[in-house]
Structure 1
Amino acid sequence: MVAVRPGDVEATLSRIDPLRPVLLLFGPDTGLVRERARIFLAKAGEGSTDPFGLVRIDGDDIAGDPGRLVDEAGTVALFGGRRVISVRAGSKNIVPAVESLLAMPGLDAVVVIEAGDLKKGAPLRASCESSPRANAVACYADSERDLARLIDTMTASAGIAIDRDAREELMSLLGGDRLASRGEVEKLLLYVAGEPRITAQHVRDIVGDASALALDEVVDNALAGLSAESATAYRKALGEGMRGDVILGSVARAAQGLHLMRLGIEAGGSVERAMEGARPAIHFRRKPLVEKALRSWTAARLEKALLAVDDALLAARRNALLGPELAERALFQLAAAARRG
């Protein structure tokens, strides 16, 4: 089996292995899949002067013509050097083409296959993992260590320091997609050009979604039982143009996430473990209020609260003029219920 372990990924992608010329990149983080493919393809083509040395093939094309991939891989480069082939899997089955490629004797070309989130046992993944001529690399959402390395590498390359609290703030806003994370850091670096260092305020100004942060303040205070703070944040959100029904929608989603965490706690887990395992990760500035909410509610009481929020949401959508008042009343009732807990 040649499914690459997470700890071996960097070493595997750092060199071209002539014994394993086929590389399958797959996983839910499509940005990371594409970034790793781009870097590996560039490495495979190093030293080549052939402008036609890199061939890109759409997976759906070879699904209808499985022999094409073998033909492309067996073609001798026009100006010498290594033949490099990039395949991006689509919605159609490319397993017959890949299996023919893996059975091909004397394969000199390097073939990189980009795929989506393939579950264990999926035919394409299983074919590559069971072949001694392929490496299969899973690309999952960046861990905290990965995000920290990405931020440190990019800020160091730009020659600008980043404050510790700014780094933590930035990490809490990234993740899920490598290319999106890289784009946000690049945007931040452009924003602070000429500044001596990156501060937390810089991060909030350019990376943090102001509307999302405002919603978090409303929702977290209500679920933690802090009526006055929630009301203040609610009026601020209304002043920024948010609708009452939109705010209640955020309340419902947050209550659902809280309910899942409470189920884990009531099954024997701890509050701390439930918060650490939350996806998406909880912003460090929100953690005190989320912890307070988790200790204020039970799963059963949250189910009743969710029904009440859903009723208020429906009423607010049906009556736009009364929407702000209906949402405010629902928030007060939610905070009162949290305090009773």
Structure 2
Amino acid sequence: MNAVTTRGALLAALACVLVGGSFTANSVLGAYPYAGGQFLRYGLAWLLLLPLAGKGSIARLRSLAPRLWGRLVLLAAVGMVGFNLAVLAAERTAEPAVPGVFVGCAPVVVAVLVPLLDGRRPQRVVLYGASAVALGAFTVQGWGRTDGAGIAFSACALVGEVGFAVLAVPVLRPLGPRLLSAVVCGIAALESAAAGVLLDGSAWLRRPDTVETAALLWQAVVVTVIGFVCWYMGMQRIGAERATLFSGLIPVAAACTAPLVGTGSYGPAQAVGSALVGAGVALGSGALGTAARPRLPRALRGPRRPAPSAPGRGGGAPDAVVDSPSR
């Protein structure tokens, strides 16, 4: 892998490890109103991300087409608020491993969906790697008790995980990772507030206690601000297909940190699953030298510019596509 690809892989990996290590924070928020917690998390993240958005942010937002604004609203609703709500609803009748297994299939879905939407065929090496990641995630988590509702909401969580990557592709280049993260957090905060008022009435928001405050701060600052920016910076460099491979690190990170807080153990199954996830990521991302240079979707590629004319020829050479992500 070249320097840009390596940096993108490391950023995507860091983002997913932060999410996986946040399960402890989630466990202490079980009694806090869901929508209120999401509102505080995304609202604080929005405030922290605004100064990082960079110069010209207002101009970039004004130039955004209405259909892209629709994508941003859908991204926040499906990939953030809806995803978290689906996981919470699934865990009411299913053990946490069940939605985890469904979400672990996201690399396979993205590896097929993104190329098809871009008018090209899925790459076999990426598909093989994604399949190994999904199998590894299943091995780490196992299966658990569930019912029809648990399976249905787990499938909705899978849709949310896929949407978080796929819906961002057309808006990532015009906005950049930091402004994109800020905008979707602001939208998600408004959507969370609306959902809270509709579902919980006046009880949708209360003052968190000391432990809940610490957990919400961790989610807002570490998982959302740092995690989202790293995720989209990584996706900008290696594409949604390869970036989503690293989501297999989420259950691995959760399994590795669980013994530290006494909420689980790390045994042979977790070790085998972790190895499968690592092998799948290495294979699909090209770290083993088996995959071609990542081909970014059209929405993430740089503008076309003409190559210099060849000496001794009257015409110019064909246009060269320059992958130069904005910063």
Superposition TM-score, scaled by structure 1 size: 0.22
Give the number of the structure whose residues are more often strand, by fraction: 1
> Which structure has the highest helix share of the two?
2
Higher relative contact order (CA 8 A, sep 6+): 2
Report the structure number with the largest CA radius of gyration.
1
